[in-house]
Amino acid sequence: MYILGISAFYHDSAACIIKDGEIIAAAQEERFTRKKHDHGFPINAVKYCLKEAGIDISQLEAIAFYDKPFLKFNRLLETYLSYPGRGLNSFMMAIPLWLKQKLWIPDLMEKQTGFGGKILFPEHHESHAASAFFPSKFDEAAFLTIDGVGEYATASYGIGKGNSVKILGEINFPHSLGLLYSAFTYHAGFKVNSGEYKVMGLAPYGTPKYVDRMLEKLIDLREDGSFKMNMDYFDYNTGLKMTNSKFSELFDGPAREPESNLTQREMDLARSVQEVTEEIVLRMARHIRKETGMKNLCLAGGVALNCVANGILLREKDI
């Protein structure tokens, strides 16, 4: 049985083929187009995977897309309706793209690949959990997925056993550790969904001078790692920017101009958000161990690319 997996229309489009549960080919579209973070339909990656598998498109059992577009579209509409009179520019930019492209994934799949068979739409965080648990060596394990946002979820945890994953709990938009980190990425003058690793690398050069301010004003963090964010300081839910003027006032000035000289403030911002991220991940992991009793943990999602936080988690003695 061959199944083709596709991620597209957000960032870093990619394709993968599984044969009887084993990954036999995978590639990102940017490797073929030479466009960094290429978000277009990964037709070149698809062709490569089919060639590596030695099959044509008709031999596929199914194609799996990485999330549920209609559910994500519903969340977008609910968000705009929750803030009447705000977000018009963002709405006018986003909705035409959805109506033209993102709501017609099955049609696009058939047009691009010629495949007219079964198309599967797992939830975004199910895809993350599967990507971590199924390739692991574990027969059973807990999983933790943390990113910007999927359909509604921004973080989830659960248990993987055999050939299944089950989500037990989640945090929902707009409260998001990934978007919190991206907000500081933006404010430090780096590109969102691209420059987060620069913030992580900048953190050791700073001091955590803003941690107390973050925990007092920005985020209500609980012992189990759950949290709520004060959206008065952010603009990403309906606007075209990550942060607003209140965020600038709280953190000693406006966002750094891209490509301008770095200052100690950006280093301190990076260190502060990095330490808060590490604390949240640790609290989440402790809670998951307590709730599931599992000794093995699989991580996925954009925040799971934070290798410094992962290293601290690995060395933690209380988990």
Convert the pLDDT of each residue in 128-144 to its tens digit: 999 999 999 999 999 99
Asked if residue 92 is part of any domain, the answer here is no
- Same domain, yes or no, for 60 and 129? no
State the CB neighbour count (10 A cutoff) for residue 26. Answer: 15
Do 186 and 292 share a domain, yes or no? Answer: yes
Same domain, 113 and 158: no
- Residue 86 in this model has a pLDDT that exceeds 80: no
pLDDT at 89 over 80: no
Average pLDDT value for residue range 50-67 = 96
Query: Does 172 lie in the same domain as 310?
Result: yes
Domain count of the chain?
Answer: 2
- Full residue range of the structural domain in which residue 132 is found: 124-319
Checking if the pLDDT of 82 tops 90, the result is: no
Whole-number pLDDT of residue 84: 73
pLDDT score for 77: 87
Q: Please tell me the pTM assigned to this model.
A: 0.93
Residue 39 covered by a domain: yes
Task: Out of 181-195, 233-247, 277-291, pick the least confident.
Answer: 233-247
Q: What is the pLDDT of residues 236-276, one digit of tens each?
A: 988 889 999 999 999 999 999 999 999 999 999 999 999 99
- Same-domain pairing of 54 and 136: no
pLDDT (average), residues 171-176:
97
Q: What pLDDT is stored for residue 120 in this prediction?
A: 96
89 lies in a domain? no
156 and 191 part of one domain: yes
Strand order in the sheet with 22-28: 22-28, 14-19, 2-7, 62-65, 118-120
Domain boundary among 122, 151, 184: 122
Residue 29 pLDDT class (50, 70, 90 cuts): very high
Pair (255, 197) in one structural domain: yes
Q: Domain containing 43 — which CATH number? A: 3.30.420.40
* Shared domain check, 60 and 187: no
User: For the chain, what is the mean pLDDT?
Assistant: 95
For range 154-174, the mean pLDDT: 97
DSSP assignments along the chain, one per residue:
-EEEEEE-SSSS-EEEEEETTEEEEEEETHHHH--TT--S--HHHHHHHHHHHT--GGG-SEEEESS-HHHHHHHHHHHHHHSTTS-HHHHHHHHHHIIIIIT-HHHHHHHHH---SEEE---HHHHHHHHHHTTSS-SEEEEEEE-S-SSSEEEEEEEEETTEEEEEEEEETT--HHHHHHHHHHHTT--TTTSHHHHHHHGGGS--TTHHHIIIIIEEE-TTS-EEE-GGGB-TTTSSSSB-HHHHHHTTSSPPPTTSPP-HHHHHHHHHHHHHHHHHHHHHHHHHHHHH--S-EEEESGGGG-HHHHHHHHH-S--
Whether residues 134 and 248 fall in one domain: yes
Q: Given this model, what pLDDT does residue 169 score?
A: 97
Do 317 and 244 belong together in one domain?
yes
Rounded mean pLDDT of 285-310? 97
Last residue of a domain, one of 60, 94, 122: 122
pLDDT confidence of residue 149:
96
Residue 18: pLDDT above 80?
A: yes
Q: What is the structure's pLDDT at 65?
A: 96
Percent of the chain with pLDDT over 90: 88
Q: Is the pLDDT of residue 83 over 80?
A: no
Average pLDDT over residues 36-56: 96
Give the whole-number percent of the chain exceeding pLDDT 70.
99
The contacts of residue 37 (CB under 8 Å, 6+ apart) are 11, 12, 30, 193, 194
Write down the pLDDT at residue 281: 98
Identify the domain boundary among 91, 122, 153. Answer: 122
Q: Does 177 reside within a domain?
A: yes
Same domain, 19 and 152: no
Domain identity same for 159 and 296:
yes
pLDDT at 263: 97
In a domain, 265, yes or no: yes
Query: pLDDT band at residue 113, thresholds of 50, 70 and 90?
Result: very high
Mean pLDDT along residues 69-85: 86
Instruction: Evaluate whether residue 49 is within a structural domain.
Output: yes
Only one residue has tokens 């992962």, namely: 310
Return the closest-CA partner of residue 184 out of 277, 260, 94. 277
Examine residue 101 and state whether it is found in any structural domain, yes or no.
Answer: no
